[in-house]
Structure 1
């Protein structure tokens, strides 16, 4: 593992990590961006869709190709939804999400969660395709939109 291949993993599983079949949702070891960049993206999502992001997605077979995992909140109260390739664990796209938290750290329902920023990997080799063309915020947003709809079951506004 190189210094650029830092991994993120969850150290414990609690009741909120159970899916509808009462099986533990798996947590992936996701390798951080090697060459990150970001752009603002102001998108409001519902609390229901935020919960789907929190639950995430772990591939059941090799055809699924993606992991979606949300971590947080961080010290500033932001959550990060991570979209990574399942075979390489390379982080390709992430969304920085702001939610209103109560005194005990609970998500308050009086203000909708808002995506503040989209980040993506600039190292084209990590994407595994289009090695001669640079990736843009449009590409990163398209990946997030497609995976939210295809893997998490909700439509992310464009």
Structure 2
């Protein structure tokens, strides 16, 4: 079996604080990651288990055959004795590749939407999109 190479961000990524809560079940799915099942699968998701003093986990999303890093989520874990909590872990930071072919740039909002979409689609996480709900509430308040 050949060794898979992962290419870290080629240029310094954009970063933003997040604060997105995650259930223990979704966190477990993130730890398991995703390996392409066929040539049509473009994404790989891989987690680095806690190595720092804070116990943070970093979940990396790689794209393409060369496994170029596109998104990284830093996750602070919760109390292992309280896994039933809905807000068991927190995505504290998101890092993402800004520049893409054709001169397009990925915004913070788009990076967060893509991260949620990858978690839901590939990892089968139950997390909901949060941005749309907040925007709808703001629009209702303005009317």
Q: Does structure 1 conserve the Cα–Cα contact (< 8 Å) formed by 2:5 and 2:66?
A: no
Q: Distance in 1 between matches of 2:103 and 2:71?
A: 19
Sort the Cα spacing of 1:90 and 1:149 in 2 relative to 1 into closer, same or farther, 3 A.
same
Q: Distance in 1 between matches of 2:126 and 2:5?
A: 26
Provide the residue aligned with 2:33 in structure 1.
56
- Superposed displacement of residue 28, structure 1: 4.5
Provide the residue aligned with 2:114 in structure 1.
143
Deviations 1:33-87 (A, max 9, x none): 1221101111111111100000010001011110011112021311011110141
For normalisation by structure 1, the TM-score amounts to: 0.70
When Rg is computed on C-alpha atoms for both structures, the one with the higher figure is 2
- Superposed displacement of residue 123, structure 1: 3.7
The unaligned stretches of length 5 or more in structure 1 are 1-26, 101-106, 126-130
Number of aligned residues: 122
Q: Distance in 1 between matches of 2:29 and 2:123?
A: 6
90-99 or 80-89: bigger deviation: 80-89
The unaligned stretches of length 5 or more in structure 2 are 131-143
Sort the Cα spacing of 1:39 and 1:28 in 2 relative to 1 into closer, same or farther, 3 A.
farther
Runs of 4+ with >6 A deviation: none
RMSD over equivalenced CA pairs, Å: 2.0
Sort the Cα spacing of 1:28 and 1:141 in 2 relative to 1 into closer, same or farther, 3 A.
farther
Q: Does 1:96 align with 2:74?
A: yes
Q: Does structure 2 conserve the Cα–Cα contact (< 8 Å) formed by 1:145 and 1:155?
A: no
Provide the residue aligned with 2:96 in structure 1.
120
- Superposed displacement of residue 122, structure 1: 2.5
Q: Which of the pair is proportionally richer in helix?
A: 2
